[in-house]
């Protein structure tokens, strides 16, 4: 009886959540960002496939352009980028690790550095709360993300971890609103999934 009653009580809550996310525009937000992300991504992947098969050898290209650069240095650049606004597309680094001796190991290191970079961004969000002038400036710059994280909480963190939305900005917004750090760490784990999924496409392209 208790099991049946719990199932019955669970359904209305899911319905209410669905209504809330519909009313606040969460689904429209997802669709809009998917359209923004998927179309350019398909065009880029299509162009890369064409160039790979008819013009260039991308694996050899990335190898020759990065072979003389220190691995630790490139990983450090990636970590800094992921910690401060994600200025460099992670896909470039995913393509780079394909040229290394143990690409899966280095891909996992990239995912971990991106995850830790998000934690640094979260800490930055908490830190700016102590500097009123900086807090006001940041809130103006990423005000939309702050409003969205207040409305949708962990679901926006998942979206930021998976989609080509700057994960660092979502993380800073999470810190500014004092979103639970334990929950942030849990939702941020979807960042690993993003790297492995993108690597499947990029590694296949370069093989």
pLDDT in tens, 11-24: 677 777 778 888 88
pTM: 0.79
Range of the domain at 138: 25-206
The reply to whether 9 falls in a domain is no
The reply to whether 20 falls in a domain is no
pLDDT in tens, 67-79: 777 889 999 999 9
The reply to whether 5 falls in a domain is no
SS (HEC) of 157-188: HHHHHHCCCCHHHHHHHHHHCCCCHHHHHHHC
Structural domains of the chain, count = 1
For helices 103-128 and 90-97, give the axis angle rounded to 10 degrees: 150
| Confidence band, pLDDT 50/70/90 cuts, at residue 55 | low
pLDDT in tens, 99-122: 888 999 999 999 999 999 999 999
The reply to whether 11 falls in a domain is no
Tell me phi and psi for residue 166, to 5 degrees: -55, 110
The reply to whether 10 falls in a domain is no
The reply to whether 119 falls in a domain is yes
């Amino acid at each position: 009886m208790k099991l049946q009653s719990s199932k019955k009580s669970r359904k209305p809550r899911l319905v209410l959540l669905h209504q809330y996310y519909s009313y606040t525009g969460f689904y429209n937000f997802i669709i809009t960002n998917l359209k923004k992300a998927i179309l350019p991504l398909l065009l880029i992947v299509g162009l890369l496939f064409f160039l790979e098969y008819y013009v260039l050898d991308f694996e050899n290209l990335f190898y020759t352009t990065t072979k003389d650069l220190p691995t630790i240095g490139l990983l450090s650049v990636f970590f800094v980028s992921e910690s401060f606004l994600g200025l460099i597309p992670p896909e470039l680094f995913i393509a780079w690790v394909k040229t290394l001796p143990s690409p899966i190991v280095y891909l996992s290191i990239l995912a971990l550095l991106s995850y830790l970079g998000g934690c640094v961004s979260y800490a930055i969000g908490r830190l700016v709360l102590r500097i009123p002038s900086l807090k006001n400036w940041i809130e103006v710059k990423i005000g939309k993300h702050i409003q969205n994280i207040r409305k949708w909480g962990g679901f926006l963190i998942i979206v930021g971890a998976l989609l080509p939305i700057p994960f660092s900005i979502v993380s800073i917004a999470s810190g500014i609103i004092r979103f639970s750090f334990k929950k942030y760490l849990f939702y941020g784990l979807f960042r690993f999934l993003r790297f492995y999924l993108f690597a499947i496409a990029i590694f296949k392209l370069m093989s």
